[in-house]
């Protein structure tokens, strides 16, 4: 089970508590811009992430438009993460809302 958060709700959650931000977009998109403190997860490092992540800490997943991140949120929930959300509308909606990003 996971929650769907509007960008403003996700921003509020990030500001209010310690969360793990997971970006599942391609590496080039992540390098160009991503949410501050986001972790880039892909097929290469997913197993390491699953071994080391704190499953009690809330996880917020995002992709490009919020479609793939819904499936990823379901996956993380199935892996035993207690509080999982994804950003409705994805990174595009986040940017359109004028919320902070970084690059590199």
Domain chopping of the chain, boundaries: 3-96
Active site residues: 63
37-82 pLDDT tens trace: 999 999 999 999 999 999 999 999 999 999 999 999 999 999 999 9
Given the candidates 3.40.1710.10, 3.40.640.10, 3.40.250.10, 3.40.190.10, the CATH classification of the domain at 3-96 is 3.40.250.10
In sequence order, what are the beta bridge partners of 22? Answer: 39, 61
Report pLDDT for 18.
94
Report pLDDT for 100.
96
Report pLDDT for 17.
87
pTM of the model: 0.95
The widest CA-to-CA distance across the chain, in whole angstroms, is 34
């Amino acid at each position: 089970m996971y929650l769907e958060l509007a960008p403003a709700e996700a921003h509020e959650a990030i500001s209010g508590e310690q969360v793990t931000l997971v970006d599942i977009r391609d590496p080039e998109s992540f390098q160009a811009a991503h949410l501050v403190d986001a972790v880039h997860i892909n097929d290469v490092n997913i197993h390491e992430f699953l071994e080391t992540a704190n499953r009690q800490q809330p996880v917020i997943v995002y992709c490009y438009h919020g479609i793939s991140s819904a499936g990823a949120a379901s996956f993380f929930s199935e892996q035993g993460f207690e509080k999982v959300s994804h950003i409705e509308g994805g990174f595009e909606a986040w940017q359109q809302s004028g919320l902070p990003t970084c690059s590199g």
